Structure 1
């Protein structure tokens, strides 16, 4: 696109007003293309970050479930130990 702009600038047989308009349109088109490419790049980055966050959420959800199960086992064991201790105390009291 930039080469076309330079070629247009060198033309002399087109009225200056039309040349200026053509150059302006070409430069505008070039800027729009750069913006489109940057937006695509940012979209790709955003999609990649979203997928990473999704994977992290899944990982953390798995960790949470494992911790919950481990805590439930600890609570069950503690309840059993408390029951045993209570039974032993009641046996000593009698």
Structure 2
């Protein structure tokens, strides 16, 4: 392709078939640029979605940790209440 372009630069008159080739190359270039721009846009969207997903995961991990701690406290309190109730039942049985 480079050779063909260099050859065309040297011509004072450009044949019709060569002009058609130049137009085709220009159209291809425009299409390629559009594709590249669309790919960049999609990449930006993907990066944004990935970052948002990371934030969501961090938030959910924090929520999970807080819920786990709260559940452990509830279990501890229930175990204590069960122990107290068992002791009272044993005391009443005597």
Both structures adopt the same fold (TM-score exceeding 0.5): yes
Match of 1:89 in 2: 89
Q: Separation in 2 of the partners of 1:74 and 1:86?
A: 18
Q: Work out the number of aligned pairs and report it.
A: 82
Deviation at 1:14, TM superposition (A): 1.9
Query: 2:75 aligned with 1:65, yes or no?
Result: no
Q: Separation in 1 of the partners of 2:34 and 2:92?
A: 85
**Higher RCO (CA 8 Å, separation ≥ 6 residues):** 1
Residue by residue, what CA displacement relative to the aligned partner does 1:52-88 show, whole Å, maximum 9, x if unpaired? 0000000000000000000000000000000000000
Q: Separation in 2 of the partners of 1:84 and 1:30?
A: 80
Match of 1:55 in 2: 55
List gaps (5 residues or longer) in structure 1: 1-12
CA-based RMSD of the aligned residues comes to 0.6
List gaps (5 residues or longer) in structure 2: 1-12
Tell me which stretches of 4 or more aligned residues in structure 1 moved more than 3 Å: none
